[in-house]
C-alpha cells in the first residue's frame, strides 16, 4: 500500500532521524491523497474547542461538518456535546469511521457540500425555533463583520442588516 510506505518513510526520516514530534493525518478527496503533519495533540477538533472556549460558546449550541478523513478529530468532539453533520459526499474513510462509532449527535445528510451543512443546521437547531434567516440575523447582530453572498458579492454589515430585515419581514408575511 503506497500510503503505508509514505507514512513509514515520514516516520523514519522525520521522527527518528530528525527527532521531530508530530501527528500524521492522512486524508483523501476523490482521487487525491495527502498527509497533514501537525503538532502532537493539535487537530481541527482541539482547535474548535479551544476557540469556542475563548469565545464563550456553549458546545451544545455548536455544529461541526466535514467530508474527509482529516475531519475525524473534528467529529470526535461530538462526544462532548457538539452536534455534527457529515455531508453526503463524505469520503469513504470518514463514512467507515462514523459507522464504527456510536455518535448520537452526528447525522449523515442527504445533500452534498453546503447543502448538507444547511440540512445539518436545520436538523439540529430547528427544534429551538431557528431558521436559516434567524440564525444569520442573530450572528450578524452579534458581530461587526462584513459579509458576502453565495456569489461572492461583498456587503458591509449595514447593507446586510437591511437585506436581512427585508428577508425577515418577507418571511413573517408568508
Which pLDDT score, from 0 to 100, does residue 155 have?
Answer: 43
Is the pTM higher than 0.85? The answer reads: no
Q: In this predicted model, which residue has the larger pLDDT, 142 or 58?
A: 58
> Domain 43-128 sits in which CATH superfamily?
HAD superfamily/HAD-like (3.40.50.1000)
Which pLDDT score, from 0 to 100, does residue 32 have?
Answer: 78
Residue in the structure block whose three cell numbers are 456569489: 151
With both helix axes pointing from N to C terminus, report the angle between 132-141 and 157-173 in degrees, rounded to the nearest 10.
Answer: 150
Report how far residue 109's alpha carbon sits from residue 79's, in angstroms, rounded to the nearest whole number: 19
Report how far residue 23's alpha carbon sits from residue 107's, in angstroms, rounded to the nearest whole number: 27
User: Is the pLDDT confidence value at 33 over 60?
Assistant: yes
The confidence band for 7, taking pLDDT boundaries of 50, 70 and 90, is confident
Question: With the CA atoms of 64, 65, 70 and 76 taken in that order, what torsion angle do they form, in degrees rounded to the nearest 10?
Answer: 40
Q: Which of 5-9, 22-26, 109-113, 154-158 ranks highest by mean pLDDT?
A: 109-113
Domain ranges of the chain: 2-38, 43-128, 131-174
User: Is the pLDDT confidence value at 98 over 90?
Assistant: yes
pLDDT in tens, 42-83: 999 999 999 999 999 999 999 999 999 889 999 999 999 999
Phi, psi of 93 (to 5 degrees): -60, -40
Amino acid at each position: 500500500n503506497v500510503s503505508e510506505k509514505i507514512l513509514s518513510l515520514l516516520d523514519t526520516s522525520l521522527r527518528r532521524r530528525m527527532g521531530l514530534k508530530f501527528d500524521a493525518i492522512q486524508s483523501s478527496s476523490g482521487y487525491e491523497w495527502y498527509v497533514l503533519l501537525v503538532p502532537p495533540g493539535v487537530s481541527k477538533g482541539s482547535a474548535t474547542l479551544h476557540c469556542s472556549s475563548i469565545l464563550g460558546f456553549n458546545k451544545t449550541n455548536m455544529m461541526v461538518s466535514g467530508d474527509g478523513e482529516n475531519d475525524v478529530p473534528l467529529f470526535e468532539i461530538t462526544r462532548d456535546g457538539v452536534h455534527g453533520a457529515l455531508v453526503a459526499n463524505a469520503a469513504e474513510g470518514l463514512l467507515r469511521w462514523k459507522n464504527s462509532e456510536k455518535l448520537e449527535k452526528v447525522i449523515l445528510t442527504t445533500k452534498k457540500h453546503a447543502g448538507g451543512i444547511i440540512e445539518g443546521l436545520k436538523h439540529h437547531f430547528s427544534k429551538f425555533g431557528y431558521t436559516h434567516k434567524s440564525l444569520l440575523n442573530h450572528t450578524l447582530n452579534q458581530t461587526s463583520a462584513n459579509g458576502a453572498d453565495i456569489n461572492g458579492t461583498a456587503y458591509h454589515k449595514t447593507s446586510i442588516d437591511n437585506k436581512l430585515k427585508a428577508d425577515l419581514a418577507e418571511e413573517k408575511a408568508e
